[in-house]
Amino acid sequence: MRKLAVLGISGMVLLVALAACKPVHKPETIGTDISLLPQKTYGNETSMRTSRDLLAAFIQTRLTGPNGVYTNLKESGQSAEAATGHEVLSESSGLLMRYYALTGQRRKFDEEWARTKRIFDLPSGFSYRYSPLHDKKYPVNAAVDDLRIIRSLYEAGQTFRDQAYTDEANAYGLRFYEHNAKDGFLYDFYDIRYYLTNDFVTLCYIDVKTLNLLPIADKDKTAFIGNMLGISKRGYISDDFPFYETRYVYKKAAYSSETIQTVESLLTILKLAEVRQHQPSSIRYVKEQVKAGTLYGQYTRDGKPATDIRSTAIYAITAMIGAELGDSSLYEDSIRRMREFQVSDSASPLYGGFGDTGSGQAYSFDNLMALLAYAY
């Protein structure tokens, strides 16, 4: 079975004019009993540790350079529209920081946080991408990546019992809200050159759990969370195909999707599950497909597979969904599927990692999502 090489989701944004928007539905609400850290981490089981340690070693010794985790182990000219080769992404930094926070590795967390600020920090957010070859820091952030970094700081504050991390999370969270939110709505990115954001939100960027932690006034937060949770939930396609639309375009007050990308829909399901606003039908569907090994990378809107490609990241996300909901069978089935892609040949340069041994390619998103799944 072929594997999907997932480069991540933050490099696909395009700049368009900012449009005003107004809520068209009664705001949704979330409960007050949502915990920041997982209640149980299945990845701490002894059977998971060897695979996790091998993957961590591969990432640290083969997939990481002085500027962070490579987008791809195989180098490129670093000039394509999407990140390639040894370019680095703030997406990767956030994933690695969350991993270190969840596994209690304070020294490594601090080192990665220092590097994140050095490489990606802008006055308005974190640059989504940096090219070492061209010494180019892109002047655009990605909401999903900034929120992941901010969440990792909140998680570090709780894990390490140090208010300083929480204070930093609050400071960066307020900056994020000032640039990536307007009139109670979230936008995908902010461009520091033109002082503009786009006119839509990608549903898998709506991280309600982290948005709820931002230090904004209660009245503003209630409207903000209500608006974004409502947009996310109403993107549900159908009971027959219980995945989610790709984006919501504010000026049209309408959803827009081409082919349904499984990684994106699964991330939306995960973020809804974190605040217990998921559809049970989505979980049933995911469990069935994971058990059968038939969860593919793309679907049409009526639920027909548009490819036979599976990916490491897909099963990493379903494992996280299982852990988040306390569903050990979904977690274990997902990890078993994910491990099918982990390189077990000790003579291979990709040993312990996830990649294509024939071409020598190994992508940051696949490997870091798998690492994070091992920590859930």
d(CA 8, CA 332): 24
Q: CB–CB of 3/343 below 8 Å?
A: no
Per-residue pLDDT of 159-176, as tens digits, reads 999 999 999 999 999 999
Q: CB–CB of 176/185 below 8 Å?
A: no
Using CA atoms, how far residue 322 sits from 153, 207, 316, 335, in Å, is: 24, 18, 10, 10
d(CA 87, CA 69): 8
d(CA 50, CA 141): 35
Domain ranges in the chain? 10-374
Give the chain's end-to-end CA distance (angstroms, integer). 26
Q: Walk along the chain (376 residues) and give the pLDDT tens digit of each residue.
A: 334 344 354 444 333 333 334 444 556 877 666 788 877 789 877 778 999 999 999 999 999 999 999 999 999 999 999 999 999 999 999 999 999 999 999 999 999 999 999 999 999 999 999 999 999 999 999 999 999 999 999 999 999 999 999 999 999 999 999 999 999 999 999 999 999 999 999 999 999 999 999 999 999 999 999 999 999 999 999 999 999 999 999 999 999 999 999 999 999 999 999 999 999 999 999 999 999 999 999 999 999 999 999 999 999 999 999 999 999 999 999 999 999 999 999 999 999 999 999 999 999 999 999 999 999 9
Q: Residue 140 is encoded by which pair of tokens?
A: 């655009």
Q: How many residues are there in the chain?
A: 376
Contacts of 112 (CB under 8 A, 6+ apart): 93, 96, 97, 100
How many CB atoms neighbour CB 289 within 10 A?
A: 16
What mean pLDDT is reported for the chain? 92
d(CA 138, CA 42): 37
Partners of 126 in the β-ladder = 121
CATH architecture assignment, domain 10-374: Alpha/alpha barrel (1.50)
Nearest-Å Rg of the Cα atoms of the chain is: 19
Report the pLDDT value the prediction gives residue 47, as an integer from 0 to 100.
78
Alpha carbon 371 to chain centroid distance?
Answer: 13
Task: Report if pTM > 0.85.
Answer: yes
Per-residue pLDDT of 298-320, as tens digits, reads 999 999 999 999 999 999 999 99
d(CA 280, CA 285): 9
- Helices within the chain (DSSP H only): 46-61, 90-102, 106-120, 143-159, 163-180, 208-211, 218-233, 262-273, 280-292, 312-324, 328-339, 364-374
- Specify the amino acid at residue 130: Y
